[in-house]
Structure 1
Amino acid sequence: MSKQTKKGKLSFLFLDSKCDKYINWAVAILLLIGTFTIVSTNVGKTTYAPNIVSKVLFKQCVFVVCGYIAMLFMNKLFRFRWFAFFELLILPICLLILVLPFAFPEIGGSHAWIQFAGMSLQPSEFAKPLILIVCATCLYRSKKKTAMLKEKGKLFKKAWIVYVCISVIIVGQKDYGTLAIISFIFLSCIMIPKYPVLQRSQRVLKLCLYSGIVAAVVLFGITNIGTDILKNTPLAHVAVRIENFKDPYADVYGDGYQPANSLYGIASSNIIGKGIGNSTRKYGYLTQADNDYILAVLIEETGVFGLFGLVILYGIIEYRLFYYAFKTSEDMYKIILGGTGVYLFMHFFLNAGGVACLIPLTGVPLLFISSGGTSLISIMMTMGLAQNCICAIRRKEMDRYL
């Protein structure tokens, strides 16, 4: 699985030898856990689909291979100068692909998927690494065009345009969980650079963020004002999810069926879990057992120890990403590494919080664990991009001491 590089050092799965090995191993273990759990959750469907396990395993292996190829490409071949050169061609194509799901029927009340050959792809997942690359490319371009660092509104002008276009498309698709993650990724990219020209906009964005959080807590948490308003709008389904998070047992046999059974599964784990493969909630109680609620099944089978292990693996990746982000003086790399950390954290926060009914369920997958080929390929691509930056940082550090 490894090969000998020219310098005599072993590379992990043919990736660049300067990649961070802790991130590589954490990702590999998470993929193994995710693949096993996805197969396990589909055992409950064998009563009416005897070949479901082999089909799911094959599909997951295909997605893992595709994700690895995307990771390898971003790690070894991606260059910001190429993206900057072809940007005017790449961006319209990407936006056009994001619009394609409108030509297909809704799935779960959202126009976010392209369906073909019995499979579904969610193009909006690729908007997450795209917004990271666009923001980093703005800083790459500013190295040659120093006027971008002096004139207000110039540095991230193109990134703002892309973000607004993506947001409009995703709002039309009614995929608000994805929009929230993309918004936080974009916000982190804007907040990371410390240029005087950005200080005013950064203060405004901080104020808007804090005000939005306070307003959300007051309108939807402390009171029901926001929920009552949403019920009379096209966002009535969001109001239902908010009510379920506040009291998942109010309608156990209706809209609260899934969140209630998620909590039943977690509570029945008895700290140590029922044992790998012994979940009962995957047998029809959780219809999204391999996706939105896969964490509930994982906790039911492995208990708190399984959750703790998962947190450690995510924590290793987060720590190493921010370790290099703080180590480098290159803002372009800081944006990629910091944004990737936010990307990973937001998925975990929204999925785990929704499964535990601590926040409304958003339908956001648990990265590396939940089924879903598009989300897996997207995060693998992003990890390859992050490793690309880490390799550049480590080479620069070596050159400094040679």
Structure 2
Amino acid sequence: MNLTQKKKTSFRMPYRYDLIIHLCTLILAVFGLFMVASATMGLASGNVMSLMKTIIKQLAFTVLGYLGMVTMARWFTFDRMKKNITPIVSLTLVLLLLALCWEVGGARAWIKIPFPGQEITIQPSEFSKVVIIMVMATYLGDIRNLKLTTKDLMRNPLLIVGGFCFIVAILQSDFGSAIVMAGIACICFLIPYHPSLVRLQKMLVMLLIIGVVLIVWILSPMGEHLIEALPFKNYQINRFTSAMNPFADKYGTGFQLINGLVSFASGGWQGVGYGKSIQKYTNFPAANTDFILAIVVEELGIFGFLLIFICYALIVGRMFIYAIRMKSQRGRIVLIGVSMYFFIHFLFNVGGVTGLIPLTGVPLLMISAGGSSTLSVMVAVGMGQAVISQYRQGKIE
């Protein structure tokens, strides 16, 4: 193969990747671009330049995300991951700490990058979710030495994941992202088998079950008084009370959720038509980010939601199928970690927008406006595609 041929194939997906996952990712990315454009119309308030800047920025990050996905799909191997995990973790830590220098919307979770005509922000916590998957696969997957103790195995993962979550939750005040990071790490921890980990894994399963039961109880009428006793800040407590009854403060903490519910009711099955949402013009502050699903349903109806749901389900389902088939624990951790990245974001965003759970500020991946989340999740898909490609070629079992 000559140099010209190498250049032509350098940005193609690797041999024997999963075409369905690839197509679903592209559909979500393109669909997200159109919905961001529509939802931003209300926020732009007739300012065409502001609208165009948002669309161009989202398009740029989507293109970068695709290039990142292809690059990761071609570059990623377990040997390279193990060799480069220390500099990757170090860089992520530096970026997380660097974000503390700026405050955006009450949180110190973004790095501001000056750009002609518009300020661009990067959210390092999104990339840390991908790094956590790498960390769990590197330090816990395919461990052959059965004499290693629990302390030996858990030292690095606990320090790294715990450090990331502490910075994001406490220092950056981004509790939603920290929960997602911890959730991904917990699920990844349940996958590898090692005699020293079995007891901890059983305890974690019990804690997860207890946690789910407690959350359901807190959100029930019986847990209403318990919410006020929780060691949360006022705005976090308000998210619980709004989820339970948004009409208790319909012009305050419940305003956003009520607007979302009105959008759902207005959309019905077929929606009012693309670009014709009314709610996005009614001072709907997160119409193109956290609450973009409400605009999707209002304009495109339940069919618009089903398009997103089917694409998510195919991506998550197919990665689970490959994970079940392969013997490699590292491969399983990567694939299930990426699928949990999608699933947890979907669960938290849809649950928050519909009032089933408190709002967490977690975006709907590749649909919500946000360059960091789009770029990060597409790189994660590329990592999953690399594992699938290597498995289908017989390079890993």
Q: TM-score, normalised by structure 2?
A: 0.92
- Structure 1 residues 326-374: Cα deviation after superposition (integer angstroms, max 9, x where no partner): 1111111000001111110000000001111111111100001001000
Shift of 1:96: 1.6
Please name the residue that 1:29 is paired with. 27
Where in structure 2 are the equivalents of 1:54-203 lying within 5 Å? 54-105=52-103, 107-117=104-114, 118-139=119-140, 142=143, 146-147=144-145, 150-172=148-170, 173-203=172-202
Q: Is the 8 A contact 2:268 2:297 kept in 1?
A: no
Q: 1:29-48 to 2 correspondence within 5 Å?
A: 29-48=27-46
Task: Give the drift of 1:46.
Answer: 4.4
SS for the counterpart of 1:268 is: helix
1:31–1:86: structure 2 CA closer, same or farther, 3 Å change rule? closer
Q: SS of the residue aligned with 2:249?
A: coil
Moved over 6 A (4+): 10-13
Deviation (angstroms), 1:77: 1.1
Letter in 2 for 1:217: V
AA matched with 2:227: T
Equivalent position SS for 1:205:
helix
Which runs of 5 or more structure 2 residues have no equivalent in the other structure?
none
Name the SS for the 1:14 alignment partner: coil
Q: Deviations over 1:265-295 (max 9, x none)?
A: 1111132211111111111331111100000
The one-letter code matched in structure 2 to 1:115 is: K
**1:229: which partner in 2?**
229
**CA separation in 2, counterparts of 1:87 and 1:309?**
36
Root-mean-square deviation (CA, aligned residues, Å) is 2.3
Counterpart in the other structure of 2:344: 346
Once residues 83 and 317 of structure 1 are traced to their aligned partners in structure 2, the CA distance between those partners, rounded to angstroms, is: 23
Structure 2 residue 260 is the aligned partner of structure 1 residue 262: yes
Amino acid at match of 2:110: W
Unpaired stretches in structure 1, ≥5 consecutive residues: none
How far apart in 1 are the matches of 2:142 and 2:319? 24
Q: Take 2:193 and 2:78, find their aligned partners in 1: how far apart are those partners? A: 21
- Provide the TM-score with structure 1 as the length reference: 0.91
> 3-state DSSP class of the match of 1:282?
helix
Are 1:396 and 2:394 counterparts? Answer: yes
Could you tell me which amino acid in structure 1 is paired with residue 192 of structure 2? P
What letter is aligned with 1:225? Answer: H
Which letter does structure 2 place at the counterpart of 1:243?
A: T
Asked if 1:50 is matched to 2:51, the reply is no
Q: Are the counterparts in 2 of residues 64 and 377 from structure 1 also a CA contact under 8 Å? A: yes
Contact 2:348 2:357 survives alignment (8 Å): yes
Percent identical: 33
Sort the Cα spacing of 1:256 and 1:149 in 2 relative to 1 into closer, same or farther, 3 A.
farther
**Cα contact 1:26–1:317 (8 A) shared by 2:** yes
Amino acid at match of 1:169: I
Secondary structure at 2:121 match in 1: strand
Corresponding residue number in structure 2 for 1:212: 211
Cα deviation code 1:206-256 (max 9, x no counterpart): 1111222222333343312332124xx551111101111111111111121
1:183 Cα deviation (Å)? 1.0
Change (3 A) 1:300 1:370: same
Q: Distance in 2 between matches of 1:234 and 1:204?
A: 26
Q: Is the 8 A contact 2:141 2:329 kept in 1?
A: no
Q: Which amino acid in structure 2 is aligned with residue 151 of structure 1?
A: T
Is the Cα contact below 8 Å between 1:71 and 1:380 reproduced in 2? yes
Q: Is the 8 A contact 1:135 1:156 kept in 2?
A: no
Q: How many angstroms apart in 2 are the aligned matches of 1:251 and 1:282?
A: 20
> Partners in 2 of 1:264 and 1:51 — Cα distance?
29
Q: State how far apart, in whole Å, the 2-side matches of 1:46 and 1:125 are.
A: 26
Between the aligned partners of 1:351 and 1:12, the Cα distance in structure 2 is 36
Contact 2:296-2:304 within 8 A present in 1 as well: yes
Question: Contact 1:41 / 1:289 at 8 angstroms: preserved in 2?
Answer: yes
Partner amino acid, structure 2, of 1:127: S
